[in-house]
């Protein structure tokens, strides 16, 4: 009996053996009496079976930006390596000299550390790096690189990785070539743009990506063509409308129907505003009242949600209805007709037309998903938490930015309180994307914007391929992905923003994945642990077994 009990207890503790630990040298800034100096700190990470939580133990204290960047690092590492980390807890620890380790520059090192552990790669401890980590695995610029490089040389580091495009360091009127400086200090300085590149230098291994091509979903293409046809039926009445219509025709001919629909919307907005010119106040108010009544009727229409496509269609339709209703309710209080009011009315009219057109996507075939009140609430709250983290992260380095994003977050929180969890999820995802787009370009030279957009689009395409492998076609993700590419030559920062939207909204299925029992084939390491535990159990049981008395 004792033998069986001991064996049972040992088998219970075997999973804890799967914990892993690693560490890297962290290039940081030590702030004392208002001055910053470069130091080497130790950043360690231990992973254990858990529930996806991220912890930080630090001495001395760190700034909030550092704490947030470590959680972001874990999320990016798991996403970029396509690992499910929901069953793993991450325990980071920073050990440094007395003072306060400042800023978010630990992010890239923390991401490398997480990526190495979850993919079972060994780290080269003579390599160190500095840089922020952003969505898509992008390494962003930080300050104090020159001081950090000097600290690395003193600490025996032989290779330092810095964000791409930052090897020319400017401090006031002084310019320093960090690669040349590193050579004089005996340190190889290398620019890296992505987590994949950094991981290759740290581990001497390459991240192998899923090279499956993205294939356009026929159902999406057919429905999107209907949406575009519906929105592109008007004849242009102004030169601007004609220009937008011409661009739309070009995209439609290429089969890029979302881009075509977007430019047709802009053409229709010009047409409607032109038609409303000269409208009298009585007729203006009647039109506002009629359109407001239409929003209520359209809002009352409910569609069954059975797939991720249905969920995303609901988001798009409700977003457009909400924007139209907000504008119309404000216009209902106006007592005069102004150019601004006329354009806002035109916008509300066309947003409602767009909502009706997008409703065509309801019922599109796809993998079934179950949407319960609990799963919707959880998705809303988790996305709100992620968005708040990103927002607060940006505020530490750009305090006066993201005012509109703050309004979006407040709106998402209001929707959560009233049980409108799908709208909350959508708005929180948008807010998170807006914060990420700002983080991606902070401190970056303008001529690198195309490079950043390309990294984001590549990350989105990987997300789309992963979704497609699950028989899911995220219509918002793909639509915004297509539109970001269309905008790249016209408006780079809008292109970057839509690339962020696309990346974020391509992975909503993680909140609603069907739970199916799966039979996992045990790995050799698993079998060794089990049989090792059994053998140890028998040995201990034998030791504790009482000896028989002689008669």
Yes or no: say if 467 and 506 are a contact pair by the CB < 8 Å rule. Answer: yes
pLDDT bucket at 550, cuts 50 / 70 / 90: very low
Residue 200 C-beta-side C-alpha neighbours within 13 Å: 11
Higher pLDDT, 128 or 445: 128
Q: Which two tokens stand for residue 212?
A: 């499956």
The pLDDT value recorded for residue 518 is 42
Contact partners, residue 72, CB within 8 Å, separation at least 6: 107, 133, 134, 389, 390, 393
Whole-model pTM? 0.76
Return the percentage of the chain with pLDDT > 90, whole number. Answer: 50
Q: Which two tokens stand for residue 46?
A: 């231990």
Q: Which two tokens stand for residue 505?
A: 């909204």
**pLDDT of 527 higher than 70:** no
What average pLDDT score do residues 533-541 get? 53
The pLDDT value recorded for residue 524 is 47
Yes or no: say if 204 and 124 are a contact pair by the CB < 8 Å rule. Answer: yes
Yes or no: say if 445 and 430 are a contact pair by the CB < 8 Å rule. Answer: no
Cα–Cα distances (Å) from 244 to 260, 320, 342, in that order, read 9, 21, 20
Pair type for strands 88-95 and 54-59:
parallel
Which residues face 162 on adjacent strands?
A: 191
CA nearest neighbour of 310 among 362, 355, 273, 266: 362
pLDDT digits (tens, 9 = 90+) for 111-128: 999 999 999 999 999 999
The pLDDT value recorded for residue 437 is 87
CATH architecture of 18-203: 2-Layer Sandwich (3.30)
Out of 189-203, 333-347, 429-443, pick the least confident.
Answer: 429-443
Residue 511 C-beta-side C-alpha neighbours within 13 Å: 26
Q: Domain map of the chain by residue range?
A: 18-203, 211-276, 459-513
Please spell the DSSP secondary structure of 297-328, one letter per residue.
HHHH------BHHHHHHHHHHHHHHHHHHHHH
Give, as one character, the DSSP assignment of residue 103. Answer: S
What whole-number distance in Å separates Cα of residue 165 and Cα of residue 193?
A: 8
């Amino acid at each position: 009996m004792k033998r069986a009990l001991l064996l049972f207890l040992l088998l219970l503790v075997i999973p804890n053996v799967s914990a892993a630990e690693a560490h890297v040298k962290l290039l940081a800034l030590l702030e004392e009496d208002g001055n910053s100096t470069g130091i080497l700190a130790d950043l360690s990470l231990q992973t254990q079976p858990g529930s996806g939580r991220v912890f930080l133990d630090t001495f001395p204290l760190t700034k909030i930006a550092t704490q947030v960047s470590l959680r972001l690092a874990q999320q990016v590492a798991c996403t970029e390596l396509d690992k499910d980390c929901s069953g793993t807890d991450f325990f980071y620890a920073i050990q440094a000299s007395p003072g306060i380790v400042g800023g978010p520059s630990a992010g890239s090192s923390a991401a490398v550390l997480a990526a190495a552990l979850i993919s079972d790669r060994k780290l080269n401890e003579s390599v160190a790096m500095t840089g922020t980590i952003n969505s898509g695995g992008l390494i962003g610029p930080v300050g104090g690189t020159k001081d950090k490089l000097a600290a690395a040389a003193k600490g025996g580091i032989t290779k330092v990785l810095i964000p791409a495009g930052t090897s020319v360091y400017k401090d006031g009127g002084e310019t320093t070539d960090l690669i040349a400086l590193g050579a004089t200090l005996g340190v190889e300085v290398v620019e890296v743009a992505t987590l994949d590149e950094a991981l290759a230098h740290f581990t001497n291994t390459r991240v192998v990506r899923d090279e499956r091509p993205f294939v356009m979903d026929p159902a999406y293409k057919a429905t999107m063509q209907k949406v575009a046809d519906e929105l592109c039926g008007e004849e242009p009445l102004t030169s601007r409308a004609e220009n937008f219509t011409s661009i739309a025709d070009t995209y439609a001919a290429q089969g890029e129907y979302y881009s075509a629909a977007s430019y047709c919307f802009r053409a229709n907005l010009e047409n409607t505003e032109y038609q409303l010119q000269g409208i009298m106040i009585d007729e203006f108010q009647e039109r506002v009242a009629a359109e407001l009544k239409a929003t209520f009727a359209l809002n009352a229409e409910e569609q069954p949600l059975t797939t991720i496509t249905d969920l995303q269609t609901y988001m798009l339709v409700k977003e457009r209805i909400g924007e139209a209703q907000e504008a119309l309710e404000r216009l209902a209080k106006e007592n005069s007709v102004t150019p601004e009011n006329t354009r806002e009315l035109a916008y509300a009219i066309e947003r409602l037309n767009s909502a009706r057109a997008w409703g065509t996507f309801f019922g599109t075939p796809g993998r079934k998903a179950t949407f319960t009140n609990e799963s919707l609430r959880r998705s809303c709250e988790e996305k709100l938490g992620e968005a708040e983290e990103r927002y607060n992260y940006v505020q530490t380095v750009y305090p006066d930015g993201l005012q509109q994003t703050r309004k979006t977050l407040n709106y998402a929180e209001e929707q959560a309180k009233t049980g409108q969890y799908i709208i909350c999820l959508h708005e929180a995802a948008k807010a998170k994307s807006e914060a990420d787009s700002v983080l991606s370009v902070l401190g970056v030279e303008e001529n690198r914007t195309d490079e950043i957009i390309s990294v984001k689009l590549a990350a989105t395409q990987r997300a789309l391929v992963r979704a497609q492998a699950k028989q899911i076609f995220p219509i918002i993700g793909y639509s915004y992905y297509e539109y970001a590419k269309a905008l790249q030559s016209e408006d780079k920062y809008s292109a970057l923003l839509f690339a962020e939207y696309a990346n974020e909204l391509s992975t909503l299925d993680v909140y609603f994945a069907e739970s199916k029992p799966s039979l996992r084939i045990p790995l050799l390491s698993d079998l060794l642990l089990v049989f090792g535990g059994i053998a140890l159990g028998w040995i201990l049981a034998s030791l504790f077994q009482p000896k028989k008395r002689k008669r």
